Amino acid sequence: MKIAVVGAGSTYTPELVSGLSREGARLPVSELVLHDIDAERREVVGGLAGRMLARQGFDGSLVLTGDLDRALEGADVVLIQIRVGGQAARLSDETVPLACGCIGQETTGAGGFGKALRTVPVVLDIARRARELAAPGSWIVDFTNPVGIVTRALLDDGHRAIGLCNVAIGFERAMAPMLGVEPERLVVDQVGLNHLTWVRAVWLDERDVLPDLLGAHGDELAELVELPRRLLHELGAVPSYYLRYFYAHDEVLAEQLSGATPRAVTVAGIERELLAMYADPALASKPALLEQRGGAFYSEAATRLVTSLATGDAAVHVVDVRNGATLAGLADDDVVEVPARVGEQGALPLPQRPLAPELLGLVAHVAAYERLAVQAALTGSRTVARKALLAHPLIGQWGPVEALVDRLLEADAHHLPRFGAPVGARP
């Protein structure tokens, strides 16, 4: 099979490539194509990937290219992991909202909205080209944030797509040592929307061990998500780290306004160091520094998902898919993040009990925002953009919304040709 990675200049890529190669017995990759529009990053990252593959005895072909058509032609799986605007745009996402008194984060709230506006049209252009050139029945696996919004846009546009996030596998890897078992024995029953999920059960040999975990390791779990242990016990669930932006909003905003170094600055520094390491022709393994980059276990989650799509092994993965009738109270066409059995025909969500009111209310708000965010990204309507931010529970006030939309569009003007009217216009 042929796998194409779009956005392969990412510092995650060598680990992803290594994982795909390790699955050689079940995932016979004959051609792996790494595409990126940044020639320097493509060569540096691709060089390390090649050395890692050679060390593992990979017998397929590795192709590095800046030609998207070359990457997509005949591909069975297209994995998209792009960052439109790079770390500079991320810094804008994390800082522009602060001037309006709102949290700055690259996937959540106003910052996530800015990223969605830049990203959705670009991903759809890639997917539409893949529809013309990729192999019949090919899959798009999206790891590009904001995953839920991007996946909704892909599915709305008729693509065979699945979204993937690393939060669930992160919980799996954190909880397994607490239980003294191998991670593969756990099924983390994480439900909600991308970056708005709760672990409501942890299945070990068909037994829910979450109550045991909360009782014996509540402090560790609370520290992991940076929220109070009492909150976890009262919810009877473990929120993802991203719920901190909701449950500790004022605390987080105060931290950000105090002049704390934006995460984008830290990550940019880590990436510079990593790329310098990757350029060393003697390096043929993943540097320990990569663990500080974020996105832990992403490559393993991606490898496992691609393997299930290719082999039809019906393994359970936490993925972003259409809701259908999975979560009561949400629309059928909403995109939810839930455990699903994955095979050659795609993902079949596992049955879920209804969300508790305190979870459903928040999820419904954000699902409405995501629907509007896709519409704004595709139409370039400032009116819809303002409606989207009014619907988001982290914003929801006219004063900040009016200023935020103008500031976000001004900061990202180069990447937002659809929003062509002058700042301050009211179409």
Distance CA 110, CA 97 (A): 6
242 as an active site residue: the answer is yes
| 48 phi and psi angles, rounded to 5 deg | -65, -40
Beta strands at 77-80 and 2-6: parallel, antiparallel or unpaired: parallel
Q: Record the tokens describing residue 285, joined without a space.
A: 């393994």
**How buried is 353 (Cβ within 10 angstroms: 0-12 exposed, 13-18 middle, 19+ buried)?**
exposed
Number of other residues whose CB lies within 10 A of the CB of residue 87: 19
Distance CA 75, CA 13 (A): 18
Q: Which of 340, 2, 26 is nearest to 138 (CA)?
A: 2
Helix (H, G, I), strand (E, B) or coil at 370: helix
| 356 phi and psi angles, rounded to 5 deg | -65, 155
Identity of residue 406: D
Distances (CA, A) of 406 to 111, 386, 401, 409, 414: 13, 10, 9, 5, 14
Q: Which of 12, 242, 278, 369 is catalytic?
A: 242
Helix (H, G, I), strand (E, B) or coil at 320: strand
**How buried is 137 (Cβ within 10 angstroms: 0-12 exposed, 13-18 middle, 19+ buried)?**
exposed
- Do the Cβ atoms of 146 and 195 come closer than 8 Å? yes
Helix (H, G, I), strand (E, B) or coil at 35: strand
End-to-end CA distance of the chain: 48
The contacts of residue 11 (CB under 8 Å, 6+ apart) are 45, 270, 271, 274, 275, 278, 290, 293
Distances (CA, A) of 323 to 5, 6, 168, 319: 27, 27, 18, 11
Residue numbers annotated as active site = 242
